[in-house]
Amino acid sequence: MKAFQIKKYGKKEKLQLSEVAEPTVKENEVLVEIHAAGINLLDTKIKTGEFKIFLPYKTPLTNGHDMAGVVVKVGSGVSKFKVGDEVYTRVGDYRIGTFAEYISVRENDLALKPKNLTMVEAASIPLVGLTVWQALVERANLKKGQKVFIQAGSGGVGTFAIQFAKNLGATVATTTSTVNIEMVKSLGADVVIDYKKENFEKVLTGYDVVLNSQDAKTLEKSLRILKPGGKLISISGPPDTDFAVQMGSPWYLKLVMKLLSFGVKKRAKRLNVNYSFLFMKAEGDQLSEITALIDSGKIRPVIDKVFPFEQTNDAMAYVETGRAKGKVVVRVK
Ligand SMILES: NC(=O)c1ccc[n+]([C@@H]2O[C@H](COP(=O)([O-])OP(=O)(O)OC[C@H]3O[C@@H](n4cnc5c(N)ncnc54)[C@H](OP(=O)(O)O)[C@@H]3O)[C@@H](O)[C@H]2O)c1
């Protein structure tokens, strides 16, 4: 089968279109024919080698975390899926490879695809949807009537997070640039700040939760808009010790993570707020709950561009510009 592989880590390296063996299927796995694959910044960070320290993948490696497709084979121990099911997933770490024609997926990482979405639309959802679920539900326990600040409302995570938080009944503030203001309003954002013209710290105060996805300066300012007891969940760093534990990292990396987050944790404590870093994980049950939300029309995908499979490198390069409005997807079949 055809697959886009990382042969060598590096900023300037491109994925190589290669002929590789079709995956085998173990007892609790499902073989999926991939119809579409979503692109995430994580894919570009894996390719550059930025994540090598936490996820020491060996090359050659088929890249890609998100996909939607059709089940073509099931392992003997699989109970939740059958041949012909339309499914989607963010595959587990160390099991990546959705920029390909087929992939073998653990059934626990998989969910039925929302019925009202095309394959392309469905492939845009898993990684960002699970990130938002794990940040706003699992970590923050965001409740009706609370105030949440979601940075970069026009991005892949932001477009999903605004809709998700509104559905929970929260008041949503977001940042974006002038061209995307109408888009984030249409997704339900209550307070929209043009980050090129206004300083959000001057406008927002007494927030319960911040979903931080930007740089260190933005993180520092975000700590100060929280009310006492408020929670900041960062998906862009700095990583903390719990993350090293989650990744099964050796003791010296736990120490490095502790040092990296020491300053921000200290400042958060002084402000009587909570800081934590989140690295999302594959989770089929949570993805099934997201399927239900989408099926009920409460959340819709926001897709910026769709590329043909052959142009997977162009799709990656576009995401890497940091200017995507919503998600970028590759049509595989
Ligand atoms: N830890 C995790 O588990 C996890 C999971 C998912 C994502 N992430 C990380 O979270 C970050 C966001 O991911 P993403 O997929 O949403 O990225 P993305 O889709 O590439 O974000 C692009 C968007 O960001 C906006 N933007 C850029 N700079 C901004 C700023 N200073 N303020 C407000 N908006 C700004 C851009 O809007 P304009 O063009 O208007 O500037 C653009 O629409 C990335 O660093 C990603 O790696 C981490």
Q: What is the pLDDT of residues 104-148, one digit of tens each?
A: 999 999 999 999 999 999 999 999 999 999 999 999 999 999 999
Alpha carbons 284 and 261: distance in angstroms, whole number: 30
From the CB of 153, is ligand 1 less than 6 Å away?
no
At residue 66, the pLDDT reads 99
Going by CA atoms, what residue is nearest to atom 34 of ligand 1? 152
Per-position DSSP letters for 112-166, written without gaps between them: EPPTTS-HHHHHTSHHHHHHHHIIIIIIT---TT-EEEES-TTSHHHHHHHHHHH
Q: For residue range 165-174, list pLDDT tens digits in order.
A: 999 999 999 9
For residue 77, how far is its CA from the centre of ligand 1 (angstroms)?
39
Alpha carbons 247 and 57: distance in angstroms, whole number: 13
Under 8 Å between Cβ of 70 and 45:
no
Alpha carbons 99 and 135: distance in angstroms, whole number: 26
Alpha carbons 197 and 206: distance in angstroms, whole number: 22
Q: For residue range 37-74, list pLDDT tens digits in order.
A: 999 999 999 999 999 999 999 999 999 999 999 999 99
Under 8 Å between Cβ of 179 and 185:
no
For all residues of the chain together, what is the average pLDDT?
98
Q: For residue range 295-325, list pLDDT tens digits in order.
A: 999 999 999 999 999 999 999 999 999 999 9
pTM over 0.85: yes
pLDDT band for position 216 (50/70/90)? very high
Distances in Å between the Cα of 193 and the Cα atoms of 17, 200, 236 are 42, 6, 20
pLDDT band for position 34 (50/70/90)? very high
Under 8 Å between Cβ of 267 and 261:
no
Going by CA atoms, what residue is nearest to atom 8 of ligand 1? 235
Closest ligand 1 atom, residue 215 Cα: 31
Alpha carbons 98 and 65: distance in angstroms, whole number: 6
DSSP-derived 3-state class of residue 296: coil
Any alpha helices (H) in 236-276, and if so which ranges? Answer: 241-246, 251-270
Identify the residue whose tokens are 């105060």.
205
pLDDT band for position 4 (50/70/90)? very high
Across 45-66, b (16+ Cβ under 10 Å) vs e yields ebbebebeebeebeeebbbbbb
Mutate to test the pocket of ligand 1, among 131, 157, 221, 233 (most ligand atoms within 8 A of CB): 157
